[in-house]
A and B are shown apart, each in its own frame.
Chain A
Amino acid sequence: MLILSRKIDQGIRIGDEIEISITKIEGDSVKIGISAPRSISILRREILEEMQSSNQAAAFAGKGQSAPLKSTLAAGSALKLIAQIRAKKAKVKPSSPKKQTISQTKND
Protein backbone atom coordinates (compact mmCIF):
# COMPACT_ATOMS: atom_id res chain seq x y z
CA MET A 1 0.00 0.00 0.00
CA LEU A 2 1.20 3.45 -0.89
CA ILE A 3 1.16 5.79 2.07
CA LEU A 4 1.44 9.55 1.63
CA SER A 5 1.55 12.35 4.16
CA ARG A 6 -0.78 15.26 3.40
CA LYS A 7 -1.67 18.48 5.17
CA ILE A 8 -4.94 20.33 5.19
CA ASP A 9 -5.95 21.65 1.75
CA GLN A 10 -3.45 19.38 0.07
CA GLY A 11 -4.61 16.67 -2.24
CA ILE A 12 -3.90 13.48 -4.09
CA ARG A 13 -4.58 12.79 -7.72
CA ILE A 14 -5.31 9.24 -8.85
CA GLY A 15 -5.22 8.73 -12.59
CA ASP A 16 -6.70 11.45 -14.77
CA GLU A 17 -10.08 11.72 -13.18
CA ILE A 18 -9.94 11.21 -9.44
CA GLU A 19 -8.87 13.81 -6.96
CA ILE A 20 -8.86 13.49 -3.21
CA SER A 21 -8.43 16.50 -0.95
CA ILE A 22 -8.03 16.86 2.76
CA THR A 23 -10.56 19.50 3.75
CA LYS A 24 -10.61 19.37 7.54
CA ILE A 25 -8.70 17.71 10.35
CA GLU A 26 -10.24 17.61 13.78
CA GLY A 27 -8.84 15.38 16.50
CA ASP A 28 -8.88 11.84 15.17
CA SER A 29 -11.26 12.61 12.37
CA VAL A 30 -10.45 13.76 8.85
CA LYS A 31 -12.83 15.26 6.30
CA ILE A 32 -11.95 14.12 2.83
CA GLY A 33 -13.29 15.52 -0.42
CA ILE A 34 -13.39 13.26 -3.46
CA SER A 35 -13.95 14.30 -7.05
CA ALA A 36 -14.49 11.41 -9.40
CA PRO A 37 -16.61 10.54 -12.41
CA ARG A 38 -20.15 9.45 -11.55
CA SER A 39 -19.39 5.98 -12.84
CA ILE A 40 -16.93 5.37 -10.02
CA SER A 41 -18.53 4.01 -6.91
CA ILE A 42 -17.40 5.59 -3.66
CA LEU A 43 -18.50 3.92 -0.45
CA ARG A 44 -17.51 3.93 3.17
CA ARG A 45 -15.67 0.69 3.73
CA GLU A 46 -17.96 -0.24 6.66
CA ILE A 47 -20.92 -0.44 4.28
CA LEU A 48 -19.19 -3.04 2.14
CA GLU A 49 -18.14 -4.98 5.22
CA GLU A 50 -21.67 -4.77 6.58
CA MET A 51 -23.07 -6.16 3.31
CA GLN A 52 -20.62 -9.04 3.40
CA SER A 53 -21.37 -9.95 6.99
CA SER A 54 -25.10 -9.50 6.44
CA ASN A 55 -25.00 -11.86 3.45
CA GLN A 56 -23.00 -14.36 5.43
CA ALA A 57 -25.49 -14.24 8.29
CA ALA A 58 -28.37 -14.70 5.86
CA ALA A 59 -26.82 -17.53 3.85
CA PHE A 60 -27.76 -21.17 4.21
CA ALA A 61 -25.25 -23.67 2.99
CA GLY A 62 -26.70 -26.68 1.27
CA LYS A 63 -30.08 -26.20 2.86
CA GLY A 64 -32.10 -24.53 0.18
CA GLN A 65 -32.13 -27.59 -1.99
CA SER A 66 -33.66 -29.99 0.45
CA ALA A 67 -35.60 -28.04 3.04
CA PRO A 68 -38.93 -26.59 2.13
CA LEU A 69 -38.99 -22.88 2.78
CA LYS A 70 -42.00 -23.25 5.03
CA SER A 71 -40.26 -25.43 7.56
CA THR A 72 -37.17 -23.25 7.45
CA LEU A 73 -39.32 -20.23 8.08
CA ALA A 74 -41.32 -21.96 10.77
CA ALA A 75 -38.15 -22.08 12.81
CA GLY A 76 -38.13 -18.32 12.59
CA SER A 77 -41.86 -18.15 13.31
CA ALA A 78 -42.29 -16.51 9.96
CA LEU A 79 -45.51 -18.27 9.10
CA LYS A 80 -47.37 -15.78 11.19
CA LEU A 81 -45.62 -13.04 9.27
CA ILE A 82 -46.67 -14.56 5.97
CA ALA A 83 -50.26 -14.48 7.13
CA GLN A 84 -49.92 -10.91 8.29
CA ILE A 85 -48.34 -9.84 5.04
CA ARG A 86 -51.09 -11.52 3.05
CA ALA A 87 -53.79 -9.89 5.11
CA LYS A 88 -52.09 -6.59 4.62
CA LYS A 89 -51.65 -7.04 0.90
CA ALA A 90 -55.26 -8.04 0.51
CA LYS A 91 -56.28 -4.76 2.07
CA VAL A 92 -54.18 -2.75 -0.35
CA LYS A 93 -56.28 -2.46 -3.45
CA PRO A 94 -54.35 -2.71 -6.68
CA SER A 95 -54.19 0.95 -7.51
CA SER A 96 -53.08 1.86 -10.98
CA PRO A 97 -54.83 5.12 -11.78
CA LYS A 98 -51.78 6.33 -13.68
CA LYS A 99 -51.79 3.39 -16.03
CA GLN A 100 -55.49 3.83 -16.65
CA THR A 101 -55.03 7.44 -17.56
CA ILE A 102 -52.30 6.50 -20.00
CA SER A 103 -54.34 3.85 -21.73
CA GLN A 104 -57.28 6.18 -21.96
CA THR A 105 -55.18 8.78 -23.64
CA LYS A 106 -53.93 6.20 -26.06
CA ASN A 107 -57.45 5.12 -26.89
CA ASP A 108 -58.41 8.66 -27.61
Chain B
Amino acid sequence: MKLKIGEESLHGEKSAQHSHMIDVSGGLFGFPDIQEMELFYDQEELPFMWLREGGQEGLAFIVIEPGGIIPDYTVEISDNDVDYLKVSGADDTMILNIVTLPSEGNSKISVNLVGPVIVNRNTLVAKQCIINNHEKYSARHILDLADTGE
Protein backbone atom coordinates (compact mmCIF):
# COMPACT_ATOMS: atom_id res chain seq x y z
CA MET B 1 0.00 0.00 0.00
CA LYS B 2 1.16 3.45 -0.80
CA LEU B 3 2.14 5.56 2.17
CA LYS B 4 0.06 8.71 2.38
CA ILE B 5 0.29 10.71 5.56
CA GLY B 6 -2.95 11.63 7.23
CA GLU B 7 -5.13 9.60 4.92
CA GLU B 8 -4.84 6.32 6.74
CA SER B 9 -7.38 7.21 9.38
CA LEU B 10 -9.96 7.85 6.74
CA HIS B 11 -10.15 4.13 6.19
CA GLY B 12 -11.71 3.27 9.47
CA GLU B 13 -8.58 2.74 11.52
CA LYS B 14 -9.18 3.45 15.16
CA SER B 15 -5.72 4.44 16.23
CA ALA B 16 -4.58 7.94 15.53
CA GLN B 17 -0.95 6.85 15.67
CA HIS B 18 0.85 5.46 12.70
CA SER B 19 4.24 3.97 12.21
CA HIS B 20 6.17 2.99 9.12
CA MET B 21 9.66 1.59 8.90
CA ILE B 22 11.77 3.52 6.42
CA ASP B 23 14.97 2.24 4.87
CA VAL B 24 17.45 5.11 5.24
CA SER B 25 20.58 3.14 4.43
CA GLY B 26 21.07 5.56 1.54
CA GLY B 27 22.27 7.97 4.16
CA LEU B 28 21.55 10.99 6.29
CA PHE B 29 24.28 13.61 6.28
CA GLY B 30 26.44 13.28 9.35
CA PHE B 31 24.86 9.96 10.33
CA PRO B 32 26.15 7.46 7.79
CA ASP B 33 25.55 4.36 9.87
CA ILE B 34 21.80 4.52 10.26
CA GLN B 35 20.07 1.77 8.32
CA GLU B 36 16.46 2.06 9.29
CA MET B 37 14.21 4.61 10.98
CA GLU B 38 10.60 4.72 11.97
CA LEU B 39 8.35 7.40 10.57
CA PHE B 40 5.91 7.89 13.40
CA TYR B 41 3.04 10.29 13.61
CA ASP B 42 0.00 11.01 15.66
CA GLN B 43 -2.97 12.40 13.81
CA GLU B 44 -3.19 15.16 16.38
CA GLU B 45 0.40 16.26 15.92
CA LEU B 46 0.43 16.56 12.18
CA PRO B 47 2.06 18.10 10.22
CA PHE B 48 4.90 17.34 12.60
CA MET B 49 6.15 13.76 12.61
CA TRP B 50 8.99 11.82 14.13
CA LEU B 51 11.65 10.17 12.06
CA ARG B 52 13.36 8.10 14.69
CA GLU B 53 15.67 5.24 15.29
CA GLY B 54 14.77 2.30 17.48
CA GLY B 55 16.19 1.77 20.96
CA GLN B 56 16.58 3.95 24.01
CA GLU B 57 19.58 5.90 22.79
CA GLY B 58 18.21 6.19 19.30
CA LEU B 59 18.40 9.29 17.23
CA ALA B 60 15.27 11.22 16.36
CA PHE B 61 14.32 14.03 14.03
CA ILE B 62 11.16 16.04 13.71
CA VAL B 63 10.04 16.21 10.09
CA ILE B 64 7.24 17.77 8.09
CA GLU B 65 5.79 17.28 4.65
CA PRO B 66 6.23 20.70 3.03
CA GLY B 67 3.04 20.65 0.94
CA GLY B 68 0.73 23.47 1.98
CA ILE B 69 3.27 24.76 4.50
CA ILE B 70 6.22 25.99 2.46
CA PRO B 71 4.96 28.13 -0.39
CA ASP B 72 6.40 27.53 -3.86
CA TYR B 73 8.71 24.75 -2.76
CA THR B 74 9.67 22.39 -5.53
CA VAL B 75 12.47 19.86 -5.48
CA GLU B 76 14.64 18.74 -8.35
CA ILE B 77 16.44 15.51 -7.56
CA SER B 78 19.59 14.40 -9.33
CA ASP B 79 19.47 11.49 -11.77
CA ASN B 80 21.61 9.51 -9.39
CA ASP B 81 19.17 9.93 -6.54
CA VAL B 82 16.22 9.14 -8.81
CA ASP B 83 17.97 5.93 -9.83
CA TYR B 84 18.69 5.03 -6.23
CA LEU B 85 15.18 5.73 -4.99
CA LYS B 86 13.49 4.35 -8.11
CA VAL B 87 10.87 7.05 -8.00
CA SER B 88 9.05 7.95 -11.17
CA GLY B 89 7.22 11.13 -10.30
CA ALA B 90 5.55 13.31 -7.71
CA ASP B 91 2.93 10.66 -7.06
CA ASP B 92 5.24 8.07 -5.52
CA THR B 93 7.63 10.55 -3.94
CA MET B 94 7.26 11.81 -0.40
CA ILE B 95 9.26 14.81 0.74
CA LEU B 96 10.20 15.15 4.40
CA ASN B 97 11.97 18.27 5.60
CA ILE B 98 13.93 18.08 8.82
CA VAL B 99 12.83 20.60 11.45
CA THR B 100 15.18 22.28 13.92
CA LEU B 101 13.59 23.53 17.11
CA PRO B 102 14.69 26.74 18.75
CA SER B 103 17.86 26.59 20.77
CA GLU B 104 20.23 29.13 22.23
CA GLY B 105 20.73 31.93 19.79
CA ASN B 106 17.94 30.63 17.61
CA SER B 107 14.48 31.65 18.60
CA LYS B 108 12.48 30.24 15.73
CA ILE B 109 11.63 26.86 14.32
CA SER B 110 13.50 26.29 11.10
CA VAL B 111 13.20 23.79 8.29
CA ASN B 112 15.95 22.43 6.07
CA LEU B 113 14.77 22.96 2.50
CA VAL B 114 18.15 22.28 0.91
CA GLY B 115 18.46 18.64 1.93
CA PRO B 116 15.06 16.98 2.21
CA VAL B 117 14.68 13.30 2.98
CA ILE B 118 13.07 11.84 -0.12
CA VAL B 119 11.00 8.69 0.38
CA ASN B 120 9.65 6.31 -2.22
CA ARG B 121 6.05 5.86 -1.04
CA ASN B 122 5.83 2.36 -2.44
CA THR B 123 9.11 0.82 -1.34
CA LEU B 124 9.72 3.08 1.71
CA VAL B 125 13.33 3.48 0.65
CA ALA B 126 14.63 6.93 1.56
CA LYS B 127 17.68 9.10 1.14
CA GLN B 128 18.55 12.60 2.20
CA CYS B 129 19.25 14.43 -1.05
CA ILE B 130 20.73 17.82 -1.70
CA ILE B 131 18.31 19.05 -4.31
CA ASN B 132 19.62 20.31 -7.65
CA ASN B 133 17.80 23.62 -7.22
CA HIS B 134 19.15 24.12 -3.70
CA GLU B 135 20.44 27.62 -4.44
CA LYS B 136 16.85 28.86 -4.30
CA TYR B 137 16.29 27.69 -0.76
CA SER B 138 17.64 27.95 2.74
CA ALA B 139 18.81 25.17 5.01
CA ARG B 140 17.36 27.22 7.87
CA HIS B 141 14.06 28.37 6.46
CA ILE B 142 12.11 29.97 9.28
CA LEU B 143 8.75 28.36 9.78
CA ASP B 144 6.69 31.43 10.36
CA LEU B 145 3.33 31.36 8.73
CA ALA B 146 2.53 34.92 9.60
CA ASP B 147 5.05 35.92 6.96
CA THR B 148 3.75 33.81 4.15
CA GLY B 149 0.51 35.73 3.77
CA GLU B 150 -2.42 34.23 2.01
Contact = CB atoms under 8 A, between A and B. Distances in A.
Interface in B16-47: 28-31, 40-42, 44-47
A59 B112 contact: no
Contacts, number: 132
B109 A51 contact: no
A43 to B, nearest CB: 6
Interface string B45-59: 111111011111111
Interface residues of B, number: 50
A62 B101 CA distance: 16
A69 B30 CA distance: 23
A54 B112 contact: yes
Interface of A: 38-41, 43, 47-48, 50-65, 68-70, 72-73, 75-78, 81-82, 84-85, 88-89, 91-92
Closest 5 A/B residue pairs (Cβ): A64-B60, A52-B30, A64-B52, A51-B29, A76-B101
